[in-house]
């Protein structure tokens, strides 16, 4: 039953992401191991959407380390646990709770021993800046504690780069790059401190190759230049090469301006989804504190209130004018959504 639940939820979320994003491109440099313990290590820009995209774009069912603050309510906690999400505590959650991470890390070690996949965001927090921040030590504990307890464990580290054209925009596009698997045993040294330093440095470098990485000391100036030449942030290797060449080797196509037809289709879609749209604009949006959660909450509305609203209209039409009218409206609104988002 648990597998059926996970397959059903992943299929539904995958369908939701298909309708939500204009384009989702997945690039795998090699096949992700199916029968070995895997640790996915990704950059973190777009809150929960980063995790959902990783969960639905590879064949592994992963356990995700998730900020503990979202587990505060009992019902939500049970739901997240059923989706293989594990709470990880940060300093802001209180020093007294940091020790709870010990049991979570032990759980990760036990899962990896069973050949499972675990995914986490080693930057420790999310941020919309196109920069891979210094990695925290938490993921190194999972790696080295697992290898220390199980020396023969063939743990594979998979760097991941999640890239967005405009993470807060509706109808955005994204590209997920999966890097080559790296055997964790490669980082085993006699001196654990040196091993930790090398692991953090190497993984940060690998992740930086899979997403746009702008050095923090020149961030604003570099980002402005990239925007002025219409840099395609869905192709991070080209963007990073452009930055490395001091903007002498940059070749990006001009982005298409939104046409009147595109705007009209979006307006028609909003009109058909007026109630969920009103709740999003008037109720949800004003309560969002962190801009990184804009996409997450919008997607939550898209996969909950939107289907309910459409179903209500379909039922009203079917009961008033006949089943054919209800079905016709359902087909119409699905086609309208696809055309408005994908065009």
Q: What is the pLDDT at residue 93?
A: 65
* Angle formed at CA 125 by CA 111 and CA 98, multiple of 5 degrees: 60
The model carries a pTM of: 0.93
Q: Under DSSP, is residue 194 helix (H, G, I), strand (E, B) or coil?
A: helix
Closest by CA to 69, choosing from 111, 126, 108, 119, is 126
Q: How far apart are CA 180 and CA 115, in angstroms?
A: 18
171 sits in which H/E element = none
180 sits in which H/E element = none
Q: How far apart are CA 17 and CA 50, in angstroms?
A: 11
Looking up tokens 């054209």, which residue turns up?
Answer: 165
Q: How far apart are CA 296 and CA 301, in angstroms?
A: 9
Q: How many CB atoms lie within 10 A of CB 343?
A: 12
Give the contacts of 336 (CB within 8 A, at least 6 positions apart).
265, 268, 269, 272
Q: Where are the domains of the chain?
A: 2-211, 260-342
Closest by CA to 150, choosing from 197, 114, 176, is 114
* Angle formed at CA 148 by CA 143 and CA 150, multiple of 5 degrees: 95
Would you identify the CATH topology of the domain 2-211?
Glycerol-3-phosphate (1)-acyltransferase (3.40.1130)
Q: How many CB atoms lie within 10 A of CB 206?
A: 19
Q: How far apart are CA 129 and CA 15, in angstroms?
A: 28
Q: Over its length of 343 residues, how does the chain's per-residue pLDDT go in tens digits?
A: 778 999 999 999 999 999 999 999 999 867 799 899 999 999 999 999 999 999 999 989 999 998 877 777 778 788 888 888 888 877 666 666 777 778 899 999 999 999 999 999 999 889 999 999 999 988 999 999 999 999 999 999 999 999 999 999 989 999 999 999 999 999 998 889 999 999 999 999 999 999 999 999 999 999 999 999 999 999 999 999 999 999 998 988 877 777 888 889 999 999 999 999 999 999 999 999 999 999 999 999 999 999 999 999 999 999 999 999 999 999 999 999 999 999 8
282 sits in which H/E element = none
Closest by CA to 102, choosing from 84, 111, 114, 89, is 89
Q: How far apart are CA 39 and CA 117, in angstroms?
A: 6
């Amino acid at each position: 039953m648990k597998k059926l639940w996970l397959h059903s939820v992943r299929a539904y979320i995958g369908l939701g992401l298909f309708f939500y994003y204009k384009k989702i491109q997945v690039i795998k440099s090699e096949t992700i191991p199916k029968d070995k313990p895997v640790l996915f290590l990704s950059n973190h820009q777009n809150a929960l959407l980063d995790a959902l995209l990783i969960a639905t774009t590879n064949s592994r069912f992963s356990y995700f380390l998730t900020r503990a603050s979202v587990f505060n309510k009992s019902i939500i906690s049970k739901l997240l646990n059923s989706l293989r999400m594990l709470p990880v505590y940060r300093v802001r959650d209180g020093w007294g709770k940091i020790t709870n991470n010990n049991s979570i890390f032990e759980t990760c070690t036990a899962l990896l021993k069973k050949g499972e996949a675990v995914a986490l965001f080693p930057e420790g927090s999310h941020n919309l800046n196109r920069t891979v921040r210094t990695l925290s030590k938490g993921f190194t504990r999972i790696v080295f504690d697992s290898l220390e307890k199980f020396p023969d464990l063939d743990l594979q580290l998979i760097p991941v780069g999640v890239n967005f054209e405009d993470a807060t925009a509706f109808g955005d596009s994204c590209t997920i790059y999966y890097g080559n698997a790296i055997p964790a045993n490669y980082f085993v040294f006699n001196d654990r401190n040196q091993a930790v330093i090398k692991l953090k440095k190497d993984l940060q470098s690998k992740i930086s190759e899979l997403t746009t990485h702008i050095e923090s000391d020149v961030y604003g100036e570099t980002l402005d230049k990239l925007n002025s030449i219409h840099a395609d942030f869905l192709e991070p290797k080209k963007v990073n090469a452009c930055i490395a060449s001091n903007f002498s080797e940059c070749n990006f196509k001009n982005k298409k301006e939104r046409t009147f037809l595109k705007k009209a289709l979006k307006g028609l879609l909003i009109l058909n989804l007026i109630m969920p749209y009103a709740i999003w604009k008037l109720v949800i949006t004003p309560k969002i504190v962190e801009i990184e959660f804009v996409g997450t909450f919008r997607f939550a509305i898209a996969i909950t209130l939107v289907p309910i609203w459409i179903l209500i209209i379909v039922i009203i039409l079917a009961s008033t004018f006949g089943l054919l009218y209800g079905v016709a409206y359902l087909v119409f609104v699905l086609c309208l959504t696809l055309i408005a988002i994908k065009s």
